[in-house]
């Protein structure tokens, strides 16, 4: 159904994805009048009709339970049943999280699946995790976020030894609120790739490959980056249009500025992987355009081909005893009941 | 002693401040060889020798207790004793907070003094509070942050009816972690100017005059804004230098871009007021340049002239009963013992 911009954007993005990747096969999930005509004329596309739609404002877990024939639930069920290897949606993020957790299911041993967003930092792309799947976290969850993030950056971005940081408010080990201090201790003990604190100001410098944080701070941070970039570009545009001379200059710098805008655009990274579920689930921005859809599908395919869920399962199972103890069994099952937002 | 750039920057900024404001009198606090020559040649400047220096890495509260003759402690003592009306420092933020709390003292009824940073949002300057004085907050502190922020934006920025928002991860009332949900409830009940949630992405749009949050999230958020702006400007510079044509264009847009850089620079707002203590205490960026020092001193003077501490005292004393109850007396005194960072 395609998020804020409707299904046509998804179909155009799907077409681009098929053209870019000759080994890709797609199942389009949605209303018959949208998916069937597309599948009829594309060799590697099939249609799966879903009659219901989860709206952006609906209560995620409630909607997933009530609307069994919505495109999000049906898509996740295809993954669960093995009819699909991965799932991309630009619909309600909360509903995608809820369906991925409730239908696809968590990887054994994973306490909380988390959203990892690749951000265009200066020195290298950086995975910020969690950017909103878990508003209320315990410090020990961040150990698994680090492990899952490492697997993703290694498998998808080709980073050999990902360097892990903790989003915090000071560089020294003892800085931060009580939550961050405890997370720092656990990460130091159990994550060999942990290299210390990352301040908000260092995030966009790209000093780390993976930066872990709770879903509240991560979401505020991600949205702040996007909002700041947007406001700066708006200011920049106004500055370039402010004098006759600068307008001429603006014409001359148009090309490089367009490339910069593309580099900084959330569409370039095409969606946010939900790590920790038994399948490649990629959640697109609600405002995804066709490039974002194409890239989101490509990320889903890459996640499948690199066996990210399987590697995460191995990694979590092999985690040192202290980490396993910290994320002990008493809470198993709680996550499925929590309300993804 | 002047933060990262040393005392000369402070003296140049002080000179500019004296030149810009004919009614300003300054007491320079620091080593005799720095402050006495300056005071000797400037009518409205006096020297106050302080023999000790608190370094950036020292434990704030410990250093304030141990180094009674440091420039930060002596400066705060001048305010306490009425020999000065306000205090500006570009030294250790943590030490300034600790000295302001321990030496100048909290306003009666204020649970936690907080740092409020004016950020250059698109539609209007926005005060983000707390940006780091209190890493661990209780939801009820945010009610006072809102009240103090309102007073500041009214008195210093001339906003008649400041609009207050809560930094959160979703627009709806029910969104957020447990902390934000409780803060939302308290703000709704006790702050008439409260207008709902502000997402990270909306902060730089400038939809609110005051945005309240805990000191951990606020600090991450502020640093993320600064880091994103810095990375974007770096990318922009690289883009402008990327082709022969764009280099010519860069020359033509140089003026407007300089103005934009100034608008977005933290130096323009010249320091962060610590609201809730019995005096005008303004904490500068560690990397303050002379413009930042000049503006920081000007903000301190404006805060004194607008009687901000007195108005905050009245406002807090007049707070509705439910808010007073929420920030009840059982905790009085705890704040002074907490380690400001």
pLDDT tens for residues B26-57?
Answer: 999 999 999 999 999 999 999 999 999 888 77
**Domain boundaries, position B121:** 3-337
pLDDT higher at B265 or B277:
B277
Best residue of A124, A173, A235, A285 to probe chain B, by most B CBs closer than 10 Å: A235
CA B44 to chain A, closest CA, distance in angstroms equals 38
Which residues, at least 6 apart from B171, have a Cβ–Cβ distance to it below 8 Å?
Answer: B196, B197, B199
Q: Which of A135, A204, A256 sits opposite B239 (nearest CB)?
A: A256
- Shortest CA distance from A244: residue in chain B: B252
CA A31 to chain B, closest CA, distance in angstroms equals 29
Is-contact A238 A231, C-beta < 8 A?
no
Locate B324 and state its tokens. Answer: 């007073």
User: pLDDT for A29-47, tens place per residue?
Assistant: 999 999 999 999 999 999 9
Q: Which of B169, B214, B225 sits opposite A132 (nearest CB)?
A: B169
> A227, B256: Cβ pair inside 8 Å?
no
Task: Report, as an integer, the average pLDDT of B183-200.
Answer: 96
Task: Give dist(CA B39, CA B45) in Å, integer.
Answer: 5
Residue (of A186, A177, A199) closest to B339 by Cα position: A177
CA A71 to chain B, closest CA, distance in angstroms equals 23
The strand pair at A272-275 and A114-119 is best described as antiparallel
Task: Give dist(CA B186, CA B198) in Å, integer.
Answer: 16
Is-contact A169 A180, C-beta < 8 A?
yes
Lowest mean pLDDT among A2-16, A57-71, B113-127: A2-16
* Contact residues, chain A, for B233 at CB < 8 Å: 232
Checking if the pLDDT of B332 tops 60, the result is no
Model confidence at A202, pLDDT cuts 50, 70, 90, reads: very high
- Maximal C-alpha separation, chain A: 68
Model confidence at B221, pLDDT cuts 50, 70, 90, reads: very high
Number of H helices, E strands in chain B: 15, 10
> A172, B57: Cβ pair inside 8 Å?
yes
> What's the half-sphere exposure (Cβ side, CA atoms, 13 Å) at A179?
22
Sheet containing strand A280-283, strands side by side: A86-89, A280-283, A272-275, A114-119, A126-129, A210-212, A164-168, A194-199
Task: Report, as an integer, the average pLDDT of B203-228.
Answer: 95
> A224, B227: Cβ pair inside 8 Å?
no
CA A111 to chain B, closest CA, distance in angstroms equals 18
Task: Give dist(CA B263, CA A68) in Å, integer.
Answer: 51
Residue (of A204, A264, A124) closest to B239 by Cα position: A264
> A239, B222: Cβ pair inside 8 Å?
no
Locate A105 and state its tokens. Answer: 């299911």
* Contact residues, chain A, for B167 at CB < 8 Å: 220
Task: Report, as an integer, the average pLDDT of B158-167.
Answer: 96
Residue (of B158, B162, B228, B167) closest to B197 by Cα position: B167
Task: Report, as an integer, the average pLDDT of A118-125.
Answer: 90
- Shortest CA distance from A265: residue in chain B: B232
* Contact residues, chain B, for A214 at CB < 8 Å: 177
pLDDT of residue A270: 73
* Contact residues, chain B, for A216 at CB < 8 Å: 169, 176-177, 179-180, 217
DSSP B3: G
Checking if the pLDDT of B117 tops 90, the result is yes
CA A323 to chain B, closest CA, distance in angstroms equals 24
CATH code for position B190:
3.40.718.10
Checking if the pLDDT of B336 tops 70, the result is no
Mean pLDDT computed over every residue of chain A:
89
Locate A73 and state its tokens. Answer: 């639930």
Is-contact B64 B260, C-beta < 8 A?
no
Is-contact A90 A285, C-beta < 8 A?
yes
Checking if the pLDDT of A323 tops 60, the result is no
CA A155 to chain B, closest CA, distance in angstroms equals 26
Checking if the pLDDT of B73 tops 50, the result is yes
Task: Report, as an integer, the average pLDDT of B162-171.
Answer: 93
Which residues, at least 6 apart from B279, have a Cβ–Cβ distance to it below 8 Å?
Answer: B76, B79, B80, B84, B85, B86, B87, B100, B104, B309
Locate A280 and state its tokens. Answer: 């490649």
Q: How many domains does chain B have?
A: 1
> A205, B227: Cβ pair inside 8 Å?
yes
Residue B181 to residues A136, B27, B167, B178, B278, Cα–Cα distance (Å) = 11, 45, 11, 5, 31
- At residue A138, φ and ψ (nearest 5 deg) are -105, 150
Mean pLDDT computed over every residue of chain B:
89
Long-range contact set of residues A329-333: C-beta below 8 Å, sequence gap at least 24: A331/A111, A332/A111
Q: Which of B177, B215, B225 sits opposite A216 (nearest CB)?
A: B177
Is-contact B241 B250, C-beta < 8 A?
yes
Please, which residues bridge with residue A45 across strands? A26
- Say how many CB pairs under 8 Å bridge A and B: 210
Task: Give dist(CA B198, CA B208) in Å, integer.
Answer: 8
User: pLDDT for A227-266, tens place per residue?
Assistant: 999 898 888 888 888 888 889 988 888 888 888 888 877 7
Is-contact B340 B98, C-beta < 8 A?
yes
Task: Give dist(CA A212, CA A149) in Å, integer.
Answer: 8
Length of chain B: 341
Checking if the pLDDT of B326 tops 50, the result is no
Checking if the pLDDT of A67 tops 50, the result is yes
pLDDT of residue A2: 65
Q: Would you call B316 exposed, middle or buried from its count of C-beta atoms within 10 A (0-12, 13-18, 19+)?
A: buried
Please spell the DSSP secondary structure of B279-341, one letter per residue: SEEEEPPTT--HHHHHHHHHHHHHHHHTTHHHHHHHHHHTS-HHHHHHT-GGGTTHHHHS---
Question: Which of helix, strand or coil describes residue B29?
Answer: strand
Task: Report, as an integer, the average pLDDT of B237-256.
Answer: 88
Orientation angle between helical segments A244-252 and B254-264, nearest 10 degrees: 90
């Amino acid at each position: 159904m395609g998020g804020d911009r409707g299904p046509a954007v998804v179909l155009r993005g799907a077409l681009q994805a098929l053209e870019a990747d000759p080994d890709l096969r797609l199942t389009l999930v949605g209303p018959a009048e949208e998916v069937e005509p597309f599948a009829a004329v594309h060799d590697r596309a099939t249609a799966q009709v879903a009659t219901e739609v989860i709206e952006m404002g609906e209560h995620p877990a409630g909607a997933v339970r009530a609307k069994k024939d919505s495109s999000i639930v049906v898509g996740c069920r295809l993954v669960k049943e093995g009819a699909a290897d991965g799932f991309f949606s630009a619909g309600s993020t909360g509903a995608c999280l809820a369906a991925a957790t409730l239908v696809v299911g968590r990887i054994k041993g994973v306490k909380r699946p988390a959203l990892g967003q690749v951000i265009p930092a200066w020195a290298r792309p950086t995975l910020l995790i969690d950017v909103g799947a878990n508003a209320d976290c315990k410090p020990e969850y961040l150990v698994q976020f680090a492990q899952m993030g490492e697997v993703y950056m290694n498998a998808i971005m080709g980073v050999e030894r990902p360097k892990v940081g903790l989003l915090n408010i000071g560089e020294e080990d003892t800085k931060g609120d009580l939550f961050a201090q405890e997370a720092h201790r656990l990460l130091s003990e159990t994550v060999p790739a942990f290299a210390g604190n990352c301040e908000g100001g260092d995030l966009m410098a790209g000093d780390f490959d993976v930066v872990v944080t709770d879903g509240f701070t991560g979401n505020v941070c991600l949205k702040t980056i996007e909002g700041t970039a947007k406001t700066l570009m708006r200011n920049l545009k106004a500055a370039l249009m402010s004098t006759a001379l600068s307008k001429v200059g603006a014409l001359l710098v148009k090309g490089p500025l367009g490339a910069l805008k593309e580099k900084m655009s959330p569409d370039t990274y095409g969606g946010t992987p939900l790590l920790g579920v038994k399948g490649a689930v990629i959640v697109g921005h609600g405002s995804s355009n066709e490039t974002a859809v194409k890239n989101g599908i490509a990320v889903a395919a890459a996640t499948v081909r690199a066996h990210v869920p399987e590697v995460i399962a191995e990694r979590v199972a092999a985690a040192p005893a202290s980490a396993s103890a910290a994320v002990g069994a008493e809470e198993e099952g709680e996550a499925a009941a929590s309300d993804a937002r």
